[in-house]
């Protein structure tokens, strides 16, 4: 029996990615949508031929799972309510904009015994998923470096350029979860965070992982289009390993995420390698970096003299 999904959100990402791929899925059924704007909710419901709700609790009573596509600070509240109602969760990244919010979502999922999955695009692309599994299994890495150099704020036609939360929080919170979703399973949990800013919304992280492993990660949504890049490489006694070439196919990745969540539920499981626990650990790193950057510059930098 197909898992009955409701979509929470009526924006571009909610409709063009979440709703569209759920409507096309073989193992899921899109049955409802919720939004804060009644006109947008009605239009979205008519487009997909499903029920539209302005009352969240009514929608939660009608579905088995929800796909949440709203700003992260709103997502934390909705996810907590959905989990308490017994709904499985397909979450967007980051799961929240504070560690407290992420902790509340993680605790709600655990208490309810529901399955969760955080849609970090890179983890659901076949070539990258295979690399993460292989590299994590190899172990014995001593360090790594990675980056997502994006162009959302330099491409005027990007559908995400006007996103208020992305403008406010920058690449650290927008792209950090993606890069960390590769780095954490391969290099291990993070114990120490140092950060610095660069051009535009560029941010650089220096991370200390368990066992003395270190990594450097760079995120930006303000690089020139020719400079765009996504990748991670690690090294150790046996040599180096880098992410293979891949196509950033968001829709294909979402389809795979839906398939994996429904398979997790069908198997009677509640855990997944990219579930709310990874989402919470990712937010912990981002929160630590943001707190580091909020300290006075003179306390965290040493000037070089000629």
Q: What is the DSSP letter of 226?
A: G
Q: What is the pLDDT of residue 70?
A: 97
CB count in 10 Å sphere of residue 58? 12
Q: What is the DSSP letter of 35?
A: -
Judge residue 106's burial from the number of C-beta atoms within 10 Å of its C-beta, 0-12 exposed, 13-18 middle, 19 or more buried.
Answer: buried
Residue with tokens 């979450």: 91
Structural contact between residues 166 and 174, judged by C-beta atoms closer than 8 angstroms:
yes
Q: What DSSP string describes 135-176?
A: HHHH----EEEEEEE--TTT-TT-TTTT-HHHHHHHHHHHHH
Q: What is the pLDDT of residue 97?
A: 97
* pLDDT tens track, the chain, 306 positions: 799 999 999 999 999 999 999 999 999 999 999 999 999 999 999 999 999 999 999 999 999 999 999 999 999 999 999 999 999 999 999 999 999 999 999 999 999 999 999 999 999 999 999 999 999 999 899 999 999 999 999 987 888 888 899 999 999 999 999 999 999 999 999 999 999 999 999 999 999 999 999 999 999 999 999 999 999 999 999 999 999 999 999 999 999 999 999 999 999 999 999 999 999 999 999 999 999 999 867 566 666 666
Instruction: State the Cα–Cα distance between residues 183 and 113, nearest whole angstrom.
Output: 27
Q: Kindly compute the dihedral angle of the four CA atoms of residues 245, 250, 254, 255, in this order, to the nearest 10 degrees.
A: -80
Spatial neighbors of 9 by CB under 8 A, at least 6 apart, are 18, 34, 35, 68, 69, 70
Quote the tokens at residue 137. 């299994």
Which helix (H) or strand (E) segment holds residue 190: the answer is: strand 190-197
Question: Is residue 98 classed as helix, strand or coil in its secondary structure?
Answer: coil
Q: Given phi > 0 = left and psi -120 to 50 = alpha, else beta, which region is 49?
A: left
Q: What is the pLDDT of residue 162?
A: 85
Rounded to 5 degrees, φ, ψ at 206 are: -115, 115
Q: What is the pLDDT of residue 286?
A: 98
Instruction: State the Cα–Cα distance between residues 112 and 115, nearest whole angstrom.
Output: 9
Cα 180 off chain centre by: 9
- For strand 65-68 and strand 88-92, is the pairing parallel, antiparallel, or unpaired? parallel
Cis status, amide bond into 7, omega within 30 of 0: no
How many Cα atoms sit within 13 Å of 299 on the Cβ side?
A: 6
Q: What is the DSSP letter of 211?
A: G
Judge residue 296's burial from the number of C-beta atoms within 10 Å of its C-beta, 0-12 exposed, 13-18 middle, 19 or more buried.
Answer: exposed
Q: Going edge to edge, which strands form the sheet with 214-220?
A: 190-197, 203-209, 214-220, 143-149, 229-236, 239-242
């Amino acid at each position: 029996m197909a898992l009955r999904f409701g979509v929470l959100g009526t924006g571009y990402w909610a409709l063009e990615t979440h709703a569209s791929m759920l409507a096309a899925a073989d193992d899921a059924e899109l049955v409802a949508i919720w939004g804060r704007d009644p006109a947008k909710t009605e239009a979205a419901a008519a487009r997909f031929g499903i029920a539209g709700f302005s009352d969240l609790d009514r929608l939660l009573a009608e579905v088995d799972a929800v796909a949440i596509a709203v700003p992260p600070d709103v997502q934390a509240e909705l996810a907590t309510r959905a989990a308490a109602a017994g709904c499985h969760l397909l979450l967007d990244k980051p799961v929240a904009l504070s560690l407290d919010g992420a902790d509340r979502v993680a605790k709600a999922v655990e208490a309810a015994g529901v399955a969760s999955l955080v849609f970090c695009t890179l983890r659901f692309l076949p070539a990258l998923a295979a690399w993460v599994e292989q590299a994590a299994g190899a172990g014995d890495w001593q360090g790594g470096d990675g980056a997502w150099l994006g162009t959302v704020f330099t491409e005027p036609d990007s559908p995400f350029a006007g996103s208020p939360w992305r403008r406010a929080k920058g690449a650290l919170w927008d792209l950090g979860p993606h890069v960390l979703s590769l780095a954490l399973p391969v290099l291990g949990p993070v114990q120490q965070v140092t950060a610095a800013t660069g051009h535009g919304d560029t941010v650089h992280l220096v991370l200390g992982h368990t066992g003395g492993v270190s990594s450097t990660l760079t995120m930006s949504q303000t690089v020139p289009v020719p400079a765009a890049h996504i990748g991670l490489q690690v090294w150790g006694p046996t040599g180096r390993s880098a992410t293979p070439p891949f196509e950033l196919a968001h829709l294909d990745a979402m389809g795979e995420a839906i398939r994996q969540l429904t398979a997790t539920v069908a198997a009677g499981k509640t855990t997944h390698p990219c579930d709310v626990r990874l989402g919470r650990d990712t937010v912990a790193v981002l929160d630590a970096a943001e707190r580091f950057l909020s300290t006075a510059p003179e306390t965290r930098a040493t000037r070089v003299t000629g």
